[in-house]
Amino acid sequence: MSASQEAPELRPSASVLPSRFKAAARGLLAPVIRLAIALHLTPNTITVIGLGITIVAAVLVATGYLLIGAVLLTAGSVLDAVDGGLARATGGETRFGGFLDSTLDRSGEAILYIGVGTWIVLNVSDPVLPLVALMVAMAGSFLVSYAHARAQGIGLAADVGLTPRTERLILVIVGVALAGFGFTPGLIGILTILAVLTIVTVIQRIVHVWRLSQAIEPTTKGS
């Protein structure tokens, strides 16, 4: 049995958001997906629009319009979920679409962190520790995604852990909104929590893939 064959299922680690919440959110997306179909929008178009909204939101955050930025980030996050649902609903899933979605997701996340970091530099009297937390959170976020991609590359699944992309976005949006209401420590605290949780998630994914590989390899050696 090769590593690219079906791997045994292991119970995934729970994420920050309960599965019932995610299921309810997917149900709420159905009208948006129907609207996209009626407008003849493709999943790739939705992906690009979502990135555009994220760029505008990041610029707004960087220039101090935090609450408007948080609202736009929420809209961008909704579109991020819509493109995949639209692809499944229309049978439009393609390899390029998956590649484009993943690439622009990483781009949008980086741009968002840059926007938040710019605001911190311009508005926090002692920005060193907040910026360190932000850089660790950004590095951890990219490592979480990289671990998932590398696991897929060897035929295994690693979509486990406390902070997948949706959870990370929600935390950042909440932090930006808190700063917009004048509670800057809320944003700094969330960035610190996110820095810790992303590193924990990377470790969870490494352990998960190790367990999967250990379950496969003895069979491989004996075949």
Return the active site residues: 105
Q: Using CA atoms, how far apart are residues 34 and 28, in angstroms rounded to an integer?
A: 11
Q: Which of these, 119, 29, 17, lies nearest to 68 by C-alpha position?
A: 119
Q: Positive or negative, the Cα torsion across 19, 184, 70, 144? A: negative
Token pair listed for 126? 């002692």
Report residue 65: phi and psi, to 5°.
Answer: -90, 70
End-to-end CA distance of the chain, in Å?
A: 7
Report residue 162: phi and psi, to 5°.
Answer: -75, -35
SS (H, E, C) 53-93: HHHHHHHHHHCCCHHHHHHHHHHHHHHHHHHHHHHHHHCCC
